[in-house]
Amino acid sequence: MSPPSTLDSAPVPLADCHLHFEGCLPAAEIQRLAARARHPFADPAVFETARRAVRDAGGFLLLYAEVARLFARPEDYVAAALAVAEALAEDGLQYAEVYVSPEIFTRIGLDRAACVLAIDAGFAEALETRGILCRILFDAVRHWGPESADRVLDLHEELRLPSVVGFGLGGDENSLPAAAFAGPYLRARALGLRTSVHAGEWAGPEAVRDVLDCLRPDRLDHGISAVQDPRLLARLAEEDTILCVAPSSNLQTGAVGGVGAHPLRTLLEAGVRVTLSADDPVLFGTTTSGEYRMAKDKFGLDHAQLRQLADNAWHAAFCTKAEREAGLKKGREA
């Protein structure tokens, strides 16, 4: 089983609902893939320099694409998924929801179904060997349009993997309006998938409002620009909309200007239900437990607040009732 993470010396069973597959790869796995591809990222110093150079959304998306192109064949994803899960387990996670973008596989010339099946196999092995339960969120890339989103759902209908529990929308949130994806979101719910949307990270509060009105997701990733609109902030609290917030991501991509400008405490004080997420740990130099340490050390959250954030992640998760209750029980007994 996974070792517990430690927050103020109390073991907390962590769940993270906002992670991206390629961004979760351990650095050693990136270097292994890069060495085979004769890519400069085989040198840890080169990769670290590229990671630290990210200052905005565009730079982040370019780096993410560069890492994704290191894969050469579907079977690479079995070992990669196992490596991802093992790294998350080592950080103390018992449950993780990881965004997988099938259209990326197509664009790098690989069979998307084979790649997804390989990731599923790697996660299944990790459950047996490390006791961490990793679920898949199928991710549509916003700037590739609603037709691309429908192709992702076509794949879900083809595979019907039990490990795929949700459907989300990532990518450049300034590229297309939320309303363009109303059809795919209706279809995703009809297929039994839970839904999430990246919104309010690089765009303003109007983007959050449009997502809520047009797509009606179960939860939001980021959502931090909502603090600019008091009425929207009150709505999030009243409707108990969960925000999966990733402070390190927000800081490195320039979504906020610094720790002092980050709205985490404002969201909490407004009564919004928030979770902490690592988003893309290898690209932002963080971990899920690292986000909790940041919340304690940089934002001044106390032990009770940290425990509430950890509990919120289990409430946000698209897992079964039994899986959720087991995780919360361990948290209460810690």
Instruction: List, by residue number, the catalytic residues.
Output: 201
Residues 6 or more apart in contact with residue 102 via CB below 8 angstroms = 112, 115, 116, 138, 151, 152, 155
What is the C-alpha separation between 282 and 27, in angstroms, rounded? 6
Among 84, 85, 88, residue whose Cα is nearest residue 5: 88
DSSP 142: G
Tokens of 41: 């990222």
Tokens of 202: 């690089």
CB 334 within 8 A of CB 11: yes
Tokens of 154: 């076509």
The length of the chain is: 334
Query: Which stretches of the chain are DSSP H helices?
Result: 21-24, 27-37, 44-52, 57-68, 76-90, 102-107, 112-130, 145-159, 182-190, 205-214, 230-238, 247-252, 264-269, 281-284, 288-297, 303-316, 321-333
Tokens of 127: 């459950």
Tokens of 269: 């004080």
What is the C-alpha separation between 55 and 285, in angstroms, rounded? 14
